Structure 1
């Protein structure tokens, strides 16, 4: 045996084995940890792919759940549009968890709603609902509280003419929708595209947007 070297008593092998096992432990994930990470990565990948292909996925309850194609914008009543909220409204939506994080100014998600009124249209908002150019929107009575029973602010009551450069938008399911009845008009420059449904599920899934708990007392009293 070479001078200065002593026979290994097994300590070196045991130490090496311990280091290898520790390394394996740091590289492995339990199934409980792995699946949420995989689902998050998959969801992010699907969202990026959809945006690249000009598609949007709607998960809010005020519009049919599903896949939409975005096309060049033509403003007309009844058109479905993709838009970003004004930042003040977006802040409220994020704070109350009506909205998720997204690419809009203020950090909120894009929304899909229906154009209810264009510049020059006369809109009248009251506790019992919304009228546009004298025609009442069916089922558009306001709510006083959201699902968490927090008070809901609304746009000012009364008649007004929609200003140039603004739109009023509504969700198709007015009962479930947080829309212009509450946050007021949307600037036209916040509208990004028109939305055409490709694959949707109707009725919308319950429970994914703000207001669906109580209607206003005025409506319940028959006014």
Structure 2
């Protein structure tokens, strides 16, 4: 009986110190990421991994990686749907590419996105979530001429949630320029596209 109690006590202490150690490690990693200006991308928009935020992104350039603020769910039904159905966490940083700038023409169709006649790779619009569980709202198909202050956000990953679903956004949604720090190349294509 004494041996069982002693063993139980040791196990409890081991569990306590393991928990404290993990919490300290998590805090240390969090402090390091904050100091290094790193964010973790867990979405299928861009490769999984860490991205360094490098400050002011202006002037913007086609293809540039940026951290963006979530568009307003009140004016963007696809964003409201994604939040409601938990397709993405509300407080996760969004890393996207600049797909088109003011003055450029974007054509959106079921087959994908063209900017000034140039096709953006892997931009076909998904109609259903992974596994076909739910229909996805997308931005109306058509041709759009971006006005001053508007940008079209693009992400090449399978099941990327970009302007194809919520339309052009204000440049004010762009927070910082970003660059890959440590990523898993090709991870944005792990989920296979359905119909």
Q: TM-score, normalised by structure 1?
A: 0.69
Larger radius of gyration: 1
Task: Return the alpha-carbon distance in structure 1 between the equivalents of residues 137 and 52 of structure 2.
Answer: 32
1:87 is matched with 72
SS at match of 1:87: coil
RMSD: 2.8
1:5 is matched with none
SS at match of 2:187: coil
Q: TM-score, normalised by structure 2?
A: 0.78
1:147 is matched with 130
1:214 is matched with 194
Point out where structure 1 has 5 or more consecutive residues left out of the alignment. Answer: 1-20, 103-108, 216-223
Q: Which of residues 87, 111, 118 in structure 2 aligns to 1:98?
A: 87
SS at match of 1:92: helix
Runs of 4+ in 1 over 6 A off after TM superposition: 33-38
Q: Which of residues 68, 76, 80 in structure 1 aligns to 2:61?
A: 76
1:113 is matched with 96
Q: Which of residues 26, 33, 38 in structure 2 aligns to 1:55?
A: 38
2:148 is matched with 164
Task: Return the alpha-carbon distance in structure 2 between the equivalents of residues 95 and 39 of structure 1.
Answer: 32
SS at match of 1:189: helix
Task: Return the alpha-carbon distance in structure 2 between the equivalents of residues 129 and 146 of structure 1.
Answer: 17
Whether contact under 8 Å (1:85, 1:186) holds in the other structure is no
Whether contact under 8 Å (1:57, 1:68) holds in the other structure is yes
SS at match of 1:143: coil
Q: Which of residues 156, 162, 166 in structure 2 aligns to 1:179?
A: 162
Task: Return the alpha-carbon distance in structure 2 between the equivalents of residues 194 and 43 of structure 1.
Answer: 26
Give 1:14-29 correspondences, 5 Å limit. Answer: none
Pairwise CA distance, 1:53: 2.5
Pairwise CA distance, 1:195: 0.5
Task: Return the alpha-carbon distance in structure 2 between the equivalents of residues 29 and 143 of structure 1.
Answer: 51
